[in-house]
Amino acid sequence: MRNVGQALQEAIESLELSREEHERVTTRMQEVQRALRTAFGPKTDFISGSYGRGTSIRPLKDIDFFVVLGDIVLTPSPARPVRPSDALVELRDGIHREIPRRTQPVIQRHSVRLESLETPIQFDVIPAYACSNAPGYLIPERKKDASEEQWVRTDPRKHQDACARANQRCGGRLNPLIKLVKHWKGHHAKGLKSFHLEVMCYGFQPPRPLRDPGYLEPLEALFSHLSRAVMVGCPDPAELGGDLDDYLGSSQRAAASQLLEHAAREVRLAREEQSSRPDSAHRRMRELFPGIYRGS
């Protein structure tokens, strides 16, 4: 019988893309990149989102692709290159010309979704303008009421840097733990936004010294950390946007905190029971991580 630590390690590995999947994604990404460069001649482009930060999990459904089309000078009333909705329409039409499909790519809130016939993975292409006199980029925010649409500032590279620093501080263990927590969220706390949950993880400090090898003890500590972190504000790591937790009311925070604290308790009990009551320990972990935890 595999012990709890071994089964948890296998669960983490099951969330990782295989080498073949990475190769297919890379090949498709390069095709999209060439088509976008032909259509728009962007200043630069790069992968953003969770795939760019190394925290995406299987099954991988979409990849964010950031396309910087030019520069803009920020002033109290900066002149936008085009309206946000027009930028998205132009991007959609350019993609459709260079990568013909039976149907046009789909315009979303901030991006244009390019469906792939070769893989189930979709590309969300985000048009952006670099702020030449300030940090960050402007990206479009499309709304149902055209009068409310706007350009918003963000910086996915600062998000990547914040994630990398946090993972390094945790000895490379944080990203695998983030993936586990994201899987847990998908089954137990769907009301929490994935990026908010991830950024709360950046403030985690693993216990020192670790009593047990592997991921079990840090996972318990991370859930406990998150149960406290969700009760307070969560600023944008890029220091450009609003707080990432502003969608939560007080009752939602309390409910999320209880769910996270329950998860911490279940991991602690599984760790304590792994030698004396292994069947019970495995059951607790299967309930926390259905579909990927296969200890028995």
The per-residue pLDDT for 218 is 95
CB 246 within 8 A of CB 254: no
Q: Which fold has domain 4-15+159-288?
A: Poly(a)-polymerase, middle domain (1.10.1410)
Of residues 273, 295, 296, the one with CA closest to residue 14: 295
Residue 220 corresponds to which tokens in the numbers above? 């318990």
The per-residue pLDDT for 81 is 59
pTM of the predicted model as reported, rounded to 2 decimal places? 0.91
The per-residue pLDDT for 79 is 54
Q: Give ranges for CATH 3.30.460.90 in the chain.
A: 19-154
Q: Give ranges for CATH 1.10.1410 in the chain.
A: 4-15+159-288
DSSP state of 72: E
The per-residue pLDDT for 66 is 95
Stretches in the chain below the pLDDT threshold 70: 1, 75-81, 102, 116-119, 210-212
Architecture of domain 19-154: 2-Layer Sandwich (3.30)
The per-residue pLDDT for 31 is 85
Of residues 203, 234, 240, 235, the one with CA closest to residue 221: 203
The per-residue pLDDT for 18 is 85
The per-residue pLDDT for 27 is 86
Of residues 200, 237, 220, 208, the one with CA closest to residue 274: 220
